[in-house]
């Protein structure tokens, strides 16, 4: 029996294999832009994902042949009355575009980029744990061309990924870059020739992650994220150790992993309790 995610009008949620959640942004006629309500829906969905013990890794992609995600729905923002409530003036959820661009979370998310990833769509990719892109994908932070800035977490993250000078060029000009250029900048892990190959690669990567100890996946990701967020490498290591070391070293999954290694068998993991 599949897990039951919270209801959503923006995302199609499926569970293609054990431990894996596939989230498809399902607004192809709007370039998969996210309406105001969709940011909080995304946050609620990925909080549920973190709390659902049967799931280990998620993939996010876009519906249709053209777009991964064009960011927030600018037409909806344009049509909102100037005297709107604070909630309407600032529709973004605390965890950002689609609940992903500023997400901290516990479990890894893979972006499978099938087309345009503009604005908030690019910001989603910058905060995903891994990015697989079809060669037709195009990335851009075009906010300066609309009188805005990449305020959903993208500016600080593009500097970390690409360095100050390259990040400045991308963010201050809004220049579009191909999937191959994004790969060269460290923005993308793998580029595939087709969308079908992209999804197959994303699923293969998710399958590899889902086969590991759920506890080890959580702790390893936490350590990586602490290193990104913290100025001191040693402080980042200490934070992860203080938060997880005792629980991990006494966990059921550690016992299972060690016994499987000794017996030369595949481990049969249990859901994480960390």
Which CATH superfamily hosts domain 11-210?
2-enoyl-CoA Hydratase; Chain A, domain 1 (3.90.226.10)
Q: Which two tokens stand for residue 213?
A: 């100890």
Is there a contact between 96 and 103 (Cβ–Cβ < 8 Å)?
yes
DSSP state of 121: H
68 φ, ψ (degrees, to nearest 5): -80, -60
Give residue 91's pLDDT: 57
Compute mean pLDDT per 10 residues along the chain, 274 residues long, and list them.
Answer: 91 98 97 93 98 98 96 65 48 88 96 98 98 98 89 91 95 97 97 98 99 97 88 75 83 88 89 87
Q: Could you give the CA distance from residue 21 to residue 234 in angstroms, rounded to a whole number?
A: 33
Give residue 82's pLDDT: 46
Catalytic residues: 123, 143
Residue 218's nearest CA partner among 110, 105, 116, 134 is 105
- To 10 degrees, the CA torsion angle through 78, 94, 202, 199? -20
DSSP state of 145: G
Strand duo 67-69 + 116-118: pairing: parallel
Furthest-apart CA atoms within the chain: distance in Å: 68
Q: Which two tokens stand for residue 263?
A: 């017996």
Q: Could you give the CA distance from residue 254 to residue 256 in angstroms, rounded to a whole number?
A: 5
Question: pTM for the whole thing?
Answer: 0.90
Is there a contact between 244 and 219 (Cβ–Cβ < 8 Å)?
yes
Is there a contact between 148 and 118 (Cβ–Cβ < 8 Å)?
no
Crossing angle for the helix pair 252-263 and 214-229, to the nearest 10 degrees: 120
């Amino acid at each position: 029996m599949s897990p039951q995610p919270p209801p959503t009008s923006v995302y199609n949620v499926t569970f293609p294999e054990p431990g894996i959640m596939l989230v498809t942004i399902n607004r192809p006629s709007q370039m998969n832009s996210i309406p105001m309500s969709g940011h909080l829906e995304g946050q609620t969905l990925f909080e549920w994902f973190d709390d659902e013990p049967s799931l280990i890794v998620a993939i996010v992609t876009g519906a249709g042949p053209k777009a991964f995600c064009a960011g927030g729905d600018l037409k909806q923002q344009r049509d909102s009355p100037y005297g709107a409530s604070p909630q309407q003036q600032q529709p973004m959820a605390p965890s950002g575009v689609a609940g992903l661009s500023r997400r901290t979370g516990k479990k890894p998310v893979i972006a499978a980029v099938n087309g345009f990833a503009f604005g908030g769509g690019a910001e989603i990719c910058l905060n995903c744990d891994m990015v697989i892109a079809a060669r037709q994908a195009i990335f851009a932070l075009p906010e300066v061309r609309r009188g805005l800035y990449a305020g959903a977490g993208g500016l600080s993250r593009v500097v970390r990924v690409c360095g100050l000078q390259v990040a400045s060029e991308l963010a201050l000009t809004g220049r579009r870059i191909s999937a191959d250029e994004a790969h060269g900048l460290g923005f993308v892990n793998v580029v595939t020739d087709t969308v079908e190959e992209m999804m197959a690669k994303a699923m293969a990567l998710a399958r590899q992650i889902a086969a590991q100890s759920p506890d080890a996946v959580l702790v390893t990701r936490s350590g990586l994220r602490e290193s990104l967020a913290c100025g001191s490498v040693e402080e980042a290591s200490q934070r992860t150790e203080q938060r997880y070391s005792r629980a991990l070293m006494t966990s059921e999954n550690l016992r299972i992993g060690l016994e499987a290694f000794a017996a030369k068998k595949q481990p049969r993991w249990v859901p994480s309790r960390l």
